Amino acid sequence: MANVTVIGAQWGDEGKGKIVDWLASRADAVVRFQGGHNAGHTLVVGDQVYKLSLLPSGIVTGTLSIIGNGVVLDPWHLKAEIEKLEGQGVVINTENFAIADNCPLILPIHRDLDGLRETAAGSGKIGTTGRGIGPAYEDKVGRRAIRVCDLAHLDALDSQLDRLCAHHDALRAGFGEPPVDRRRLLDDLKEIAPYVLQYAQPVWKRLKKVRKAGARVLFEGAQGVLLDVDHGTYPFVTSSNTVSGTAASGSGLGPNATGFVLGIVKAYTTRVGSGPFPTELEDEVGQRLGERGHEFGTVTGRKRRCGWFDAVIVRQSCAVSGVTGIALTKLDVLDGFETIKICTGYRLNGKILDYLPSHSADQANVEPIYEDMPGWQETTAGARSWADLPAQAIKYVQRIQELIETPVALVSTSPEREDTILVRDPFAD
Ligand code: GDP
Ligand code: IMO
Ligand code: MG
């Protein structure tokens, strides 16, 4: 049975949430498999706008929604986000929502450390979301994390807290901060534990059952391939693997479960935070893209950096993530441009490159090679079929699919759920 894995193929904010919400009504389960509440996914359904950071976007359609073991979970944020969505009429209960009991927790000390490090980093600042993501993942691989299942054993947490605090106290001392307040941390965890535990279970088992019944699973990635800790613009990346392969390890299923890999690709490029961005436009064109695309971060409210479409990075993302087809989003933002540029390669030290090199300095120094395409003056906003698109817009989409060597499966033409053109159904067997 066909499953679909949605991942971002640029630097995040490609419109994953909208596409996952659109596909969710045809899925039996939606699973988040990495990242945490650093993500910001905006869904627009009629006059309602839903902003999700931690919960799978499938929750809005009432589809079984699962937080997999690959996610780092802030329990207090979880409660706040659920309450906010419930306030908007979304139903969330133990029938339609589950959390992996082996999921590591983001604690207040992780947020502290994220902030302290960023402040001290000077020009090396990553521009994180400040939500403790990096430090929480470090404690996971450092075997110091407190996990969801520990919330049911808080009276036996002493030896784990010794390990965790020994590490954090040394770091905090270096920043001139007092040691971890163990009593307070334990009290806070005791208070939140029952809330989280009602949803906790071995989700690999639930997913095994779901698959056995022939159900369709939709994996929802956060961030984007260029923010992947291995394949991204290191060190200006997030602390998880955002590529499609993580869907398996981050949920407790094998790699054959990932199915159709749908790369979400914006019709131009944006980035939040620091780091190389070859096609960045610091002029009125970049400003126009930002204004027309409402490019402000959902999580931090920061202005997103904007630039032309970069076919080099998307081709690379599609390769390293095994993308079957892409969803091209925000095509409408390009309406009315006289000329549209596409980056087809880079120039570095007199050489032509058809890929993004691994070293940060090289990434910062590559000069984009552009190809010009005539724009279109008609509107594509709200188009729901290929026939609704002006000829030049179709040519633009076709040129992109040629350059990235990957077919287009969907085109999105507005924030609204239904303003989506289906070219090839990712769920079709
Ligand atoms: P995500 O993090 O990948 O889920 O993306 P975000 O939700 O952070 O950012 C995408 C923004 O663009 C959201 O505000 C969406 O509502 C909006 N959006 C999604 N698709 C389209 C589209 O096709 N056209 C326009 N104009 N906006 C879109
Ligand atoms: P969605 O799922 C865009 C960026 C941050 C920073 C870097 C590291 O909405 O696409 P972190 O807090 O993860 O340690 O920050 O990664 N970043 C995102 N950028 N969209 C996101 O998520 C992001 N999540 C993290 O801005 O540059
Ligand atoms: Mg986002």
Of 13, 223, 300, best ligand 2 pocket probe by most atoms within 8 Å of the beta carbon = 223
Mutate to test the pocket of ligand 1, among 42, 55, 384, 418 (most ligand atoms within 8 A of CB): 42
What pLDDT score was predicted for residue 158? 95
Record the pTM: 0.97
Phi-psi region of 275 (alpha: psi -120 to 50; beta: other; left: phi over 0): left
User: How many angstroms separate the CA atoms of 357 and 128, rounded?
Assistant: 23
pLDDT of 236 reads 98
* Active-site residue identified among 41, 110, 168, 231: 41
What pLDDT, on the 0 to 100 scale, is given for residue 44? 93
Residue 41 has pLDDT above 70, yes or no: yes
Q: Which residues pair with 263 in a beta bridge?
A: 7, 326
Shortest-distance atom of ligand 1 to CA 43: 16
173-187: average pLDDT: 97
- pLDDT value at 298 more than 90: no
Q: Is the pLDDT of residue 1 over 60?
A: no
Question: Cα of 25 to ligand 2 centre, how many Å?
Answer: 27
**pLDDT for position 152:** 98
The answer, yes or no, to whether any atom of ligand 1 lies below 6 A from the CB of 10, is no
For residue 301, the model assigns a pLDDT of: 85
Ligand 2 atom closest to the CA of 134, numbered from 1: 14
What is the position in ligand 2's atom list of the atom closest to the CA of 302? Answer: 26
Residue range 156-179: mean pLDDT, rounded: 97
- The alpha carbon of 11 and the centre of ligand 2 are apart by a number of angstroms equal to 8
Per cent of the chain over pLDDT 90 is 97
Angstrom distance (rounded) from CA 106 to CA 51: 20
Across 290-308, average pLDDT: 92
| Lowest mean pLDDT across 261-265, 301-305, 384-388 | 301-305
**Catalytic residue status for 359:** no
Q: Is the CB of 132 under 6 A from ligand 2?
A: no
Ligand showing the shortest atom-to-Cα distance for residue 296: 1
Annotated active-site residue 110? The verdict is: no
Name the phi and psi angles at 392, rounded to 5: -70, -35
What does the pLDDT look like over 346-383, one tens digit per residue? Answer: 999 999 999 999 999 999 999 999 999 999 999 999 99
Residue 34: pLDDT band by 50, 70, 90 thresholds? Answer: very high
Is the separation of the CB atoms in 108 and 188 below 8 Å? yes
Tens of pLDDT, residues 63-92 = 999 999 999 999 999 999 999 999 999 999
Distance of CA 139 to the CA centre of its chain: 21
Average pLDDT, the chain: 97
| Active-site option among 13, 28, 101, 310 | 13
The stretches of 321-367 forming alpha helices (DSSP H) are 360-365
Cα–ligand 3 centroid distance for 264 (angstroms): 12
Report how far ligand 2's centroid is from the alpha carbon of 128 (Å).
7
Dist. CA 427 → ligand 3 center (Å): 24
**226 torsion bin: left (phi>0), alpha (psi -120 to 50), beta (else):** alpha
Residue 298, ligand 1, Cβ within 6 A: yes
The pLDDT value given to residue 299: 81
